Chains A and B, each alone.
Chain A
């Protein structure tokens, strides 16, 4: 229990942060917002998965992935394929030239379900694919790159190119993927109607719980020796290598895990929003996810969630009232966060609020046990 407290929750400070986030997601938002707005928040929280993944990959791993949208999208597309097949039963598609296949295939003169769609009739397969497809792709890409010591900027550019390729491919193969319009009109998950109000509430809570679970998993990883190794690698990669570690494996694991986390977000996106489109997987959304993490503070898991919510709130507020200013705002955000607030919201918190919060919490503080027995307090734990 004690290990759970310090490793998964991140000690007292981490537990408080998580509790505040949980209260915010599970209590404040649902009480404050109507179901339409809450559903919107749920959608943003699915992007937060991608941002949390980026905190691990970029913030701690030092690998700037510009292809996070690819994994979000693959998770989403896998889920969407299952839902689309369920929505395309022969009865409701009886008016089509070929009943029983998704409508967009019919429009594109496809007369038979492509082979790779077949297994998505199975929910079990779909759930496995949501995780495995992005994971395998991430594993292959990162193994090829990191085993050959390609890193830094080169890796970023290549992940961006992969985002470009996937978008072109999905848009180009309209008959198999739904093309630019994406996969729409999704209705049920294993017979359960996802468009009802109660379903939307349930999915919102499931999404929130998954997100908190993912953050706790990341906390566990970061509090282990693995986490300290990531910091060490960011600092002196060669020293880690010459201490007998296969550095590439650690990067591959981190990158693949970031991809998997992002894919869970993608799948939850489909369930809450009810469609999938290539506009969510390309270069632009991928780089926007980076800005979510950057606004949150790069190395703050919880901060990434707030960063995502804030930027997306800004986006919808701006694009409703001044659509043309949105790009300017977004551009300024990129430049501003890099030039003036490299540590994002978490950094601002450290500078302006931390002192006060700590003096408030001070009266509850107990005496620290002897130094050698406590996990040494260094940057790592301050960052968590």
Chain B
């Protein structure tokens, strides 16, 4: 690292740190959805990335329609579109659970294969509808530009906005899982399905809605994704491996674990990328996670229980 002065290094760390925060937000939102689906329900959803893509294309569609027909609403569309991204991904997830997932609850490895097949089909549908080329949503003006606390440091506003969204969603997920009656039922169902059923919980409905909520959150991840990159048919699938690692690394089922693991993975990758090449930064990060997982396979935040 020769050649950098202390203050240079500091600026680099802060700026890379903030660009890491954008990655962190997307990873976190993806991982929160997956933590619910995989951590709570034990379903391996390889099509999770495609639900994110659904969210991203939703934003794109909203931006195009608003630009075309209601240009005056441009500053506001994004907020509405986020809710739509959640809603559409939620609906898609609901349907997928009904048609596919519910038949496979007892066969986790088969779910993996079936949802991989689903992801291929969804990618092809995206390609047919939106074309193979990447598209970008027109972002409202207030998301452009940056904030300069010092002359050397340049923090993009969209990064801050995305951060805000992920904080809100994380809080909502914690409330949903640990404070609401619904969350109680979800946890009861995942811990003892038969018992939950016999005390009058409609476990089928719980499964369906839980899966759909997880997909909906992936949709929000897609919405935030549009602020940092353009969207293509395979955008989501690029995140699937990272997302799974985040969830496993954090210890499946622990929200705190998911947040801290998304944070450390995104930051490590972002900062390493600056000093190494893009590819090597990613390789070193992934390799480190795998080695840590080999040493501590249960993830970072899990406790000893009688099996």
Contact = CB atoms under 8 A, between A and B. Distances in A.
A169 B279 CA distance: 7
B299 to A, nearest CB: 9
B100 A148 contact: no
Nearest to B124: A327
B290 A161 contact: yes
B286 interface: yes
Given A168-B279, A335-B100, A158 B293 contact: yes
Interface stretch (A149-157, A211-219, A267-275): A149-157
Contacts of B294: 144-145, 148, 150
Interface string A150-176: 101110111011101100110111000
B108 interface: yes
Given A64-B109, A334-B114, A154 B297 contact: yes
Interface string B226-248: 00000000000000010011001
A110 interface: no
Given A158-B290, A283-B241, A328 B124 contact: yes
B95 interface: no
B279 A154 contact: no
B44 interface: yes
B116 A334 contact: yes
Contacts of A247: none
Contacts of B109: 58, 64, 152-153, 156
Nearest to A157: B244
Contacts of A164: 241, 286
Contact of A335 (B108, B118, B248): B118
B121 A332 contact: yes
B282 A331 contact: no
Contacts of B119: 331
Interface stretch (A87-95, A258-266, A287-295, A300-308): A287-295
A362 to B, nearest CB: 35
Contacts of A332: 117, 121
Contacts of B127: 324, 327
Interface in B254-294: 277-280, 282-283, 286-287, 289-290, 293-294
A39 to B, nearest CB: 28
A23 interface: no
A324 B129 CA distance: 12
Interface centre among A58, A156, A332, A335 (most CB of B within 10 A): A335
Nearest to A62: B109
Contacts of B279: 168-169, 171-173
A33 interface: no
A327 B123 contact: yes
Size range of the interface on B?
35 or more
Contacts of A160: 241, 244
Given A64-B112, A338-B113, A339-B103, A157 B283 contact: no
B104 interface: yes
Contacts of B297: 145, 148-150, 154
B8 interface: no
Query: Which of A149, A153, A168, A339 is the most central at the interface, judged by chain B CB atoms within 10 Å of its CB?
Result: A153
B7 interface: no
B152 interface: no
Nearest to B284: A165
A161 B120 contact: no
B150 interface: no
Residue of A162, A331, A333 with highest tally of chain B CB at under 10 A: A331
Contacts of A324: 124, 127-128
A292 B14 CA distance: 48
B105 to A, nearest CB: 13
B287 A165 contact: yes
Which of A173, A291, A338 has the most B CB atoms < 10 Å from its CB?
Answer: A338
Interface in A167-207: 168-169, 171-173
B101 to A, nearest CB: 11
Q: Which of A154, A156, A334 has the most CB of B within 10 A?
A: A334
A11 interface: no
B275 to A, nearest CB: 15
Given A148-B297, A164-B241, A334-B120, 20 more contacts: A152-B108, A158-B290, A160-B244, A161-B289, A165-B290, A169-B279, A172-B280, A172-B283, A283-B241, A290-B113, A324-B124, A324-B128, A327-B127, A328-B120, A330-B117, A332-B121, A335-B100, A335-B118, A335-B121, A339-B100
18 contacts: A64-B112, A148-B297, A154-B248, A156-B44, A156-B112, A157-B241, A161-B241, A164-B286, A287-B113, A327-B127, A328-B124, A330-B120, A331-B117, A331-B120, A334-B118, A334-B120, A339-B100, A339-B114
List the 10 shortest-distance A-B pairs measured between CB atoms, nearest first.
Answer: A334-B117, A172-B279, A331-B120, A331-B121, A327-B124, A144-B294, A150-B297, A331-B117, A335-B117, A338-B114
